[in-house]
Amino acid sequence: MDTGASVKGDLSGHTKAINSVSWKPTRPFRIATGSEDSKAAFFEGPPFVFKCTKGDHGKFVQSVRFSPNGERFATGGFDGKIFVYNGSSSDLDKELGSPAHKGGIYAVSIRNTFSS
């Protein structure tokens, strides 16, 4: 988005290539990234600053997506696992399956609600 304002940020926190980026669509804004270093990173902003990394995956994190309401974000990786986190604090909410299936996960899509 080009608002005409000069807003800078820093997407640090990974040691290898970033495979996926997702933007929290509601305030307070957040960004989550997934990388070949097997980690997800979480940023608060704007301007976006690194908050923490999540090392729950054992292989590349291929996909990161926020829910439409921004309450959660999910990560999917080559380890076949999906993790769901709080969209504002980045706290781990749950793991879906262990693993969710036998192959790697290339993409995740998230709805607003989860069943227990």
Each residue's pLDDT tens digit, 19-60: 999 999 999 999 999 999 999 999 998 889 999 999 999 999
Residue 78: count of CB within 10 angstroms of its CB? 18
CATH fold for the domain made of 18-96: Thrombin, subunit H (2.40.10)
Contact 50, 12 (CB under 8 A): yes
Task: State pLDDT tens for residues 51-81.
Answer: 999 999 999 999 999 999 999 999 999 999 9
| C-alpha to C-alpha distance for 94 and 90, rounded to whole angstroms | 12
Residues paired with 33 in a beta bridge: 21, 41
pLDDT confidence of residue 6: 57
Q: Say whether pLDDT at 1 is over 50.
A: no
Q: What is the DSSP letter of 71?
A: S
Residues paired with 83 in a beta bridge: 75, 95
Each domain of the chain, given as residue ranges in start order, spans 18-96
Contact 66, 73 (CB under 8 A): yes
Average pLDDT over every residue of 89-109: 88
| C-alpha to C-alpha distance for 36 and 61, rounded to whole angstroms | 6
Nearest by Cα to 17 from 78, 80, 62: 62
